[in-house]
Amino acid sequence: MNQTHHSSSPTPAPIASPIASRSAGSDAHSPARLGWSMPAEFAPHDACWMLWPQRPDTWRLGAKPAQQAFVAVASAIAESETVYVGVNDDQYENARYQLPESIRVVELSSNDAWMRDVGPTFLTHPEHGLAVVDWEFNAWGGLKGGLYFPWDKDRRIRPKIAEMLGIPRFDAGIVLEGGAIHVDGEGTLITTEECLLNPNRNPGLDRAAMEARLSEQLGISKVIWLPRGCYLDETDGHVDNLCCFVGPAEVALTWCDDAADPEYQICRDALAVLEASTDACGRPFTVHRLPQPGPLFIGEDEASGIDRLSSSHPRQPGDRMAASYVNFYIGNRVVVMPLLDERRDNEARDILARLFPERRVIGVPAREILLGGGNVHCITQQQPRDPRRT
């Protein structure tokens, strides 16, 4: 893409209503043209949003082990910033009891607990503060490979959060999950062809059209297309499980040295693209390799604790899980990483500590989250700091 970076856009028009939904189908009224853009995750935050797990066909044993893992993640992030946890009404008292008092529990109904994908993508504007992009959501593929049905409650989460915060909401008009993208806040976005060009998301959009939509919604000017996501990632290859920005022109990439493992070629193909690319500012990428845990597989006892429903993705004993240390959360003062494999945990933690010397790296036992199909980054969504208060 060779488009103008959002910083040179015309003076933004005033916002008529703080909670109005605006169609972004017209470039003249797109968030980027109005001066909005998506900050990097490593930029300052005001808060982090999560959802409470309870779905018995995703989380084993009535989600009790997963709830303990979510509490650990929320508690670690709460050392760094305000944490909101959205809860269905029937689980409100249970969640309030388990979560520390400092964490804000709000009634926010959902079909499942993947806030990264069902929650809003936040934008910032130097004069108007915060807004959200309201993508379409179809449970990672709709009726052609999606992971559960229905997803009606999930689709209402983004407008509800915009309403709660009293901030503008832009209707994107395309299917996209937050885990499918990473940005550097300086015009560059990383994603995978496997996900964003998958016909079960937006069959009418080719690569050029998708780049144009991403530019309009997020204020980016360059897209780096990695071929595939992690092996057997049930989200159709979300980039947040494979590669993420850790700073300007710096990324962390999951890495496998076993030539017999399908992940071996996936990460090398991604590295080849990154080494041949520059970011939106013309800088080459520095790539930091994070070792792949495992491979890890679902155990017999773990699979037996999950409800089997025809409307949800089956989880069988022996199924390989898409485990990755790249699936971490960058907070203001902490980095919360998944602990997945005691043979590799310390190595991954040491690498992250070097990459984030001003943040404390907190490892959280995360196998229960992985059993549900994702990890720490998948269950969190950062709310950037209002630029009017920095």
User: Distance between CA 120 and CA 123 in Å, rounded?
Assistant: 9
What single DSSP character describes residue 30? S
Cα–chain-centroid distance for residue 113?
A: 12
* Coil, strand or helix at 336: strand
User: Distance between CA 240 and CA 375 in Å, rounded?
Assistant: 10
pLDDT for residue 386 is more than 70: yes
**Does residue 378 carry a catalytic annotation?**
yes
Domains, the chain, ranges and CATH? 6-10+25-389 (3.75.10.10)
For the stretch 203-227, pLDDT in tens is 999 999 999 999 999 999 999 999 9
User: Distance between CA 296 and CA 230 in Å, rounded?
Assistant: 13
Peptide bond into 295 cis (omega under 30): yes
Q: What is the pLDDT of residue 390?
A: 64
Q: Which of 41-50, 110-119, 284-293, 312-321 has the lowest mean pLDDT?
A: 312-321
Of residues 54, 49, 144, the one with CA closest to residue 372: 54
Q: What is the pLDDT of residue 145?
A: 87
For the stretch 165-216, pLDDT in tens is 999 999 999 999 999 999 999 999 999 999 999 999 999 999 999 999 999 9
pLDDT for residue 21 is more than 70: no
Helix (H) or strand (E) holding 107: strand 104-107
User: Distance between CA 381 and CA 85 in Å, rounded?
Assistant: 11
In three state form, how does the secondary structure of 200-232 look?
CCCCCCCHHHHHHHHHHHHCCCEEEEECCCCCC
Give the chain's radius of gyration (CA, Å): 19
Name which residue leads in pLDDT, 164 or 310.
Answer: 164
User: What percentage of residues in the chain have a pLDDT greater than 90?
Assistant: 88
User: What percentage of residues in the chain have a pLDDT greater than 70?
Assistant: 93
pLDDT for residue 8 is more than 50: no
Of residues 324, 337, 299, 308, the one with CA closest to residue 374: 324
Q: What is the pLDDT of residue 22?
A: 52
Residue with tokens 């890495």: 255
Q: What is the pLDDT of residue 20?
A: 42
Q: Which of 48, 244, 256, 378 is catalytic?
A: 378
Q: Which of 7-11, 180-184, 214-218, 329-333 has the lowest mean pLDDT?
A: 7-11
Cα–chain-centroid distance for residue 60?
A: 23
Q: What is the pLDDT of residue 4?
A: 32
Burial of 153 (0-12, 13-18, 19+ CB in 10 A): middle
User: Distance between CA 192 and CA 240 in Å, rounded?
Assistant: 10
pLDDT for residue 298 is more than 90: yes
Of residues 131, 144, 164, the one with CA closest to residue 35: 131
Q: What is the pLDDT of residue 17?
A: 30
Q: What is the pLDDT of residue 15?
A: 32
Q: What does the pLDDT average to over 17-35?
A: 65
Q: What does the pLDDT average to over 91-120?
A: 98
Residue type, 13: A
Helix (H) or strand (E) holding 129: strand 129-136
What single DSSP character describes residue 125? E
Q: Which of 3-17, 71-85, 344-358 has the lowest mean pLDDT?
A: 3-17
User: Distance between CA 52 and CA 63 in Å, rounded?
Assistant: 9
Q: What is the pLDDT of residue 310?
A: 81
- Residues 6 or more apart whose CB falls under 8 angstroms from that of 9 comprise 32, 33, 34, 35, 219
257, 315 contact by CB (below 8 A): no
120, 381 contact by CB (below 8 A): yes
Q: Count CA atoms within 13 Å of residue 187 on its CB side.
A: 17
What single DSSP character describes residue 199? T
**Cα torsion 82, 376, 138, 194: sign:** positive
Helix (H) or strand (E) holding 302: helix 300-304
- Residues 6 or more apart whose CB falls under 8 angstroms from that of 346 comprise none
